[in-house]
Structure 1
Amino acid sequence: MTRISKNRWALWIVWLLLVPPGLYLVHQIFPTPQIDPWHLAAYVLFFVLTCLMPMNINGASTYLVQWVTIAVFLKYGIFVEILISQLMMLIVMVRSRTDEPMTMRIPFNSIMFFLISCFSGLAYLGAGGQIGSLDLLHILFYGLIFQLVSVFSNQIIYYSYDRLTGSQAKFFSIDALWDFALTLILFPYAIALYISEAYIGVSALLLLGIPFLIMTAVMKLYNNTQLINNDLQKAGEIGHQLAARLTADEVLDQFVIQVSEMFNVDYAYVIDYRGGSLLMLRMFEHQEFKHREIPPLRYYKGIAGRVIVNNSPIIYNKKSEWQDIVTGYIPNDTESIMCTPIARNSKIEGVLMLASKKKYAFKSHQLKILDFLSTYFAVSLEKAGYVQKAIAKSERCGLTKLYNYRYLDEALEKSMEKVKSGAIGNLSLVMVDIDHFKAINDEYGHQSGNDILMSLARILEAEVGQEGIVARYGGEEFVIMFENYSKDLTLLFAENLRKKIERHDFQIQRDLDMERSIETIHITLSIGVSTAPDDSDEPNALLRNADRALYIGAKQAGRNKVAAYSK
């Protein structure tokens, strides 16, 4: 038997031993005064209506029923108040949305409500209060004792339960303070209801009850509007943050993080819709990105497929609603799911899926906000793509597609700062120049020379890979920058590169001939090397040193050579 099952049986056993016998004893010891069924029915009606209109205060549902329960207690005593409280408990259990099993919540809450009714009722009677009294001072004084004991009993029971279950126990939390404040606010209404009904009759319930219910409904509507406005404000803030991101990856990561935080979810997934398949693009679980190999699915499969086919967002409140639909990856402890298409220019590009381990975790207005955010996300992603293209054009050589001098200059500054701070040990530059390049242009034409520059650029990229940065310095000169490469290692790389180019067959087309024939030619490189901090700790000086090594050590020494700068 699992621990949860044991706790469930223990709660029901305690309930059986406490609540039914307790009700019998209360009825015998504190008999109920004569009851007018119509009056009691009116009380119960307004009580139920109040239970159906909870307020959301500090993120929790609050039921403004004290104005009825106090009046019922003052008129009919402990037994009827216990029955009314138990009815409230059942209504709250049915309406509340939580992932706790009902088989545990019902006995626990029934015991708690029963004990609170008993403690507060006995405190009222023990202090000298009388049921049915119409003395205003008597009612105010002893009724306040009833309410204060009720609030404190509630907090003590919750605190004790948290201690027993190992949960974080906190006496008088923010929710408790709100409960206490509401008690003080509703107490005069309860006294007015009790006295008015005693003197006027059941019509007093209508005179006071209907305005109270209308006020509660208006406050609930205002409260819901405030919640929506708060979510809209958060959505606006997310939109501004997305607009500030320059790369597609930054937009994507920031969007997933911010949306997960806004809706307080356990899981968030961005699914790409491409070529008739669904591909997992981002997985964000328990506040961190995960990387798993998830096989692609056909576009119409699973929950994401349903969203794409219907082109409509969707909410599932519990696992039983979607477990027959799901295909592919989703955590086993998932309950609630909110899913919306990501569309751009009326075309679906993907799907955003948010999931929670709680039942009924999402509200209908949140789905509309998420749909709006997904559209904003798609626009931001498109804008980031344009920005990246513009940046690439400003950083790249138009002919060779290598980085240009502007980019090299900035990268050299940043890397030299790393050397000075000790983040890296060495910074090496390799300056490459094509020997006799003017003669190639003169004999074969400038377009043929450009073909050689582009072919050499691809070779340099392949040789350097992710180890360094390759840039076109100007004309037929190229610069390679390596972090954490010693001078000896850089010289070895340069020598291997020189030999490779010397043997490479470059195919060019003779632009200056009528036949424009294809010809194979060979070129050689002269290469200069300098290293920081040995040769210099200033970016421009390091570049000049590599240039000096190239011309003095390699060019003037006969070309097709590698030379290192020496002081």
Structure 2
Amino acid sequence: MAVTKKRSIILWLLWIAIVPLGLYLVYQHYPPPEIDLWNITAFTVLAILTALMPLNINGTPMYLVQCVTIAVFLKYGLFAEIILSQLTVLILLFRSRSDEPRHIRLPFNSLMFFVVSAIAGIAYMEFGGEIGSTVIAHILIFGLIYEIISILSNHLFLYMDDMFMGVNKSFFSLDTVWDFAITLLVFPYAITLYITEAYIGATALFLLGIPFLMIAGLLRMYSSSEKVNIDLKKAGEIGHQLAARLSTDEVLDQFVIQVTKMFRLDYTYVIDYRDGELLMLRMFENDEFIKNQVPPVRYNKGIAGNVIVSGTPVIYDKKSEWDDIVTGYVPVDAESIMCTPIARNNKIEGVLLVASRKKFAFAAHQLKILDILSTYFAVSLEKAGYVQRAIATSERCGLTQLYNYRYLDEKLEKSMQKVKSGEIASLSLIMMDIDHFKSINDTYGHQSGNDILVKLANMIREEVGSEGTVARYGGEEFVVMFENYGKEFSMLFAENLRKRIEQHEFLIQSDLDSERSMEKVHITLSIGVSTAPDDSDEPNALIRNADRALYIGAKQAGRNKVAAYAK
């Protein structure tokens, strides 16, 4: 903020010191010839219309107003060209989109246009150029000198400003090349406009100006449609990438990254709409995900809330347009914002909010593209959810929600490969079986037995936590697999689990009792432990070893015991 204020003060002081006095001196030393009011008015109108219709090349607006100002300079001299250029400064100030404040852009552009015009115009006349000449060779040679000096002066001014701001840029950049290229295109038209007007008067401005403006308009339309087509193609590619993701987290992350990349965003947020609240799901700032520490807000509050209520996407070009609306989290340096609902099956389920630190960062068609992307996202998210549920169904026991034998078999194979490759030092398998479980089913009913299985599964899952893998092996048998757990540590875990189960009271409803009373039941576990590579280095052998330890070492030894496999 301090740098911006300092820059503004310096620019305005320079403008006051140079532009008014410079205009006076130019008028005194290079006074304009007699000016036809109708003629100069026609030139001015053509210059204004040209300034309002820039071409967009590689995302950069190119203003072709030079074709008019050159003609005015050749006919009326330096003072008239400076006045017309200063008028176009005001047009460009309100027409162009920039994140730099207008109180800086106005003195900067006005000063730059004045200095460039003065240097190029004085050089033209000092080299021998004449105002009002109709000699073709004279006009072409000295006019081209005028244009080259104008371009070089313009880029020297910008280069010095970059140096003052501490920006390290090359003098001959891509912008310089484009300026020279545009000059080669504009200069012949400017000369033609000047010569034709010199012979037939202001009518030439309409004969040449109207086709020129029509062509410029068509080129703008073509450029805009090309940009839309490019963005639509990118959106389609993103849609295909999202469809290929098989988990909801992958879809979320890929969507955020690709949208940020496509629109060159500084901030991207995916917000969930649930139970009357807006909850932040993903926060992506300055090309990285950050931890969500934003509390939920009411669904109808702020920018996202307005989109939820209206169901309509919105776009804001600058902070002053949304600053009094926001109630939730938006970075303080954000300026441009786009926000669109995320709908699935005609129901809004979330909001996508993106932002840029630049003013006027987004075009209107980009909001529509963002809306299309949100639809792709919602469909892909739904598909990934179906896939995850299908995978969970195929990998999980329907009763206990533990992993099933199929998953355990695959996981055991992969873990054993880690042992063989040296990625992990050991692998332990703990197999357990409920003692006398058949008598529980016979006494209380099979549903009561299922209740015990579910509660036992929850207790085992709680004991293991994230350290290992828990699976239902079949019937009343359960398996726990630990990577990097040796036999001693696994035996200790098994013993602690056995004691906890032995002491626990399982509260169940007796289905075979006429009164269906609640009963307290105690159960015990017989447990076998086998470890790789000590006992075996093959998955199936490790299971058989644990099973053997369970039945021979624990069951046959009296049950309610922990036994290790012994060769």
TM-score class normalised by the smaller sequence? over 0.9
Distance apart, 1:419 and its partner CA: 4.1
1:281 counterpart SS class: strand
CA distance in 2, matches of 1:101, 1:139: 39
CA distance in 1, matches of 2:505, 2:529: 25
CA displacement 1:489-543 (0-9 Å, x = unmatched): 2111101111222233345566667776665443332222233344444434433
| 1:321-336 equivalent positions in 2, closer than 5 A | 321-336=321-336
Aligned to 1:349: 349
Aligned to 1:462: 462
CA contact (8 A) 1:445 1:512 kept: yes
CA contact (8 A) 2:272 2:350 kept: yes
CA displacement 1:65-124 (0-9 Å, x = unmatched): 222122122222222222222222221111122221212111111221122222322333
Residues 1:235 and 2:240 are matched in the alignment: no
Change (3 A) 1:211 1:291: same
2:485 counterpart SS class: coil
Aligned to 1:476: 476
| 1:486-525 equivalent positions in 2, closer than 5 A | 486-507=486-507, 519-525=519-525
CA distance in 2, matches of 1:116, 1:408: 77
Runs of 4+ residues over 6 Å off in structure 1: 512-517
Residues 1:399 and 2:411 are matched in the alignment: no
Could you tell me the TM-score, scaled by structure 2's length? 0.93
Q: After superposing the two structures, state which structure 1 stretch, 344-353 or 213-222, moved more.
A: 344-353
Aligned to 1:303: 303
Aligned to 1:220: 220
Q: Kindly provide the amino acid, as one letter, of the partner of residue 146 in structure 1.
A: Y
Aligned to 2:127: 127
1:399 counterpart SS class: coil
CA contact (8 A) 1:524 1:560 kept: yes
Aligned to 1:375: 375
CA contact (8 A) 2:282 2:292 kept: no
CA contact (8 A) 2:272 2:349 kept: yes
2:194 counterpart SS class: helix
Q: Kindly provide the amino acid, as one letter, of the partner of residue 272 in structure 1.
A: D
Q: Kindly provide the amino acid, as one letter, of the partner of residue 389 in structure 1.
A: R
Aligned to 2:173: 173
Q: After superposing the two structures, state which structure 1 stretch, 343-352 or 286-295, moved more.
A: 286-295
1:489 counterpart SS class: helix
Q: Kindly provide the amino acid, as one letter, of the partner of residue 31 in structure 2.
A: P
Aligned to 1:143: 143
2:523 counterpart SS class: coil
Aligned to 1:55: 55
CA displacement 1:331-367 (0-9 Å, x = unmatched): 2222222222222222221222222222222222222
CA distance in 2, matches of 1:251, 1:162: 42
Aligned-residue identity in percent: 67
Distance apart, 1:418 and its partner CA: 4.0
Distance apart, 1:430 and its partner CA: 1.1
| 1:21-100 equivalent positions in 2, closer than 5 A | 21-100=21-100
Q: After superposing the two structures, state which structure 1 stretch, 171-180 or 414-423, moved more.
A: 414-423
CA displacement 1:278-313 (0-9 Å, x = unmatched): 222222222222224333322222222222222222
| 1:270-309 equivalent positions in 2, closer than 5 A | 270-309=270-309
Change (3 A) 1:308 1:509: closer
CA distance in 1, matches of 2:47, 2:469: 75
CA contact (8 A) 2:281 2:292 kept: no
Change (3 A) 1:126 1:278: same
Residues 1:386 and 2:386 are matched in the alignment: yes
Aligned to 1:197: 197
Could you tell me the TM-score, scaled by structure 1's length? 0.93
1:246 counterpart SS class: coil
Residues 1:265 and 2:237 are matched in the alignment: no
Change (3 A) 1:178 1:413: farther
Q: Kindly provide the amino acid, as one letter, of the partner of residue 313 in structure 1.
A: P
CA distance in 1, matches of 2:73, 2:537: 86
2:100 counterpart SS class: coil
The alignment yields a C-alpha RMSD, in angstroms, of 2.4
Q: After superposing the two structures, state which structure 1 stretch, 130-139 or 492-501, moved more.
A: 130-139
CA contact (8 A) 1:529 1:563 kept: yes
Q: After superposing the two structures, state which structure 1 stretch, 556-565 or 462-471, moved more.
A: 556-565
Aligned to 1:253: 253
Distance apart, 1:14 and its partner CA: 1.4
CA distance in 1, matches of 2:422, 2:155: 57
Q: Kindly provide the amino acid, as one letter, of the partner of residue 336 in structure 1.
A: S
2:350 counterpart SS class: strand
Q: After superposing the two structures, state which structure 1 stretch, 340-349 or 289-298, moved more.
A: 289-298
Aligned to 1:17: 17
5+ long unaligned stretches in structure 2: none
| 1:434-473 equivalent positions in 2, closer than 5 A | 434-438=434-438, 440-441=440-441, 446-473=446-473
Q: After superposing the two structures, state which structure 1 stretch, 216-225 or 232-241, moved more.
A: 232-241
CA distance in 1, matches of 2:75, 2:179: 23
1:176 counterpart SS class: helix
CA contact (8 A) 1:58 1:175 kept: no
Distance apart, 1:256 and its partner CA: 2.1
Change (3 A) 1:15 1:476: same
Change (3 A) 1:252 1:123: same
Distance apart, 1:372 and its partner CA: 2.3
Change (3 A) 1:10 1:428: same
2:432 counterpart SS class: strand
Change (3 A) 1:421 1:13: farther
1:24 counterpart SS class: helix
1:104 counterpart SS class: helix
CA contact (8 A) 1:415 1:483 kept: yes
* Corresponding pairs, count: 567
CA distance in 2, matches of 1:453, 1:212: 83
Q: Kindly provide the amino acid, as one letter, of the partner of residue 376 in structure 1.
A: Y
Distance apart, 1:144 and its partner CA: 1.8
Distance apart, 1:37 and its partner CA: 2.1
CA distance in 2, matches of 1:15, 1:185: 32
CA distance in 2, matches of 1:529, 1:43: 95
CA distance in 1, matches of 2:310, 2:512: 62
Change (3 A) 1:239 1:44: same
Change (3 A) 1:23 1:308: same
CA distance in 2, matches of 1:516, 1:82: 100
CA contact (8 A) 1:526 1:555 kept: yes
CA distance in 2, matches of 1:122, 1:553: 106
CA contact (8 A) 1:72 1:80 kept: yes
Change (3 A) 1:178 1:416: farther
CA distance in 1, matches of 2:159, 2:103: 21
5+ long unaligned stretches in structure 1: none
CA distance in 2, matches of 1:111, 1:210: 31
Q: After superposing the two structures, state which structure 1 stretch, 510-519 or 385-394, moved more.
A: 510-519
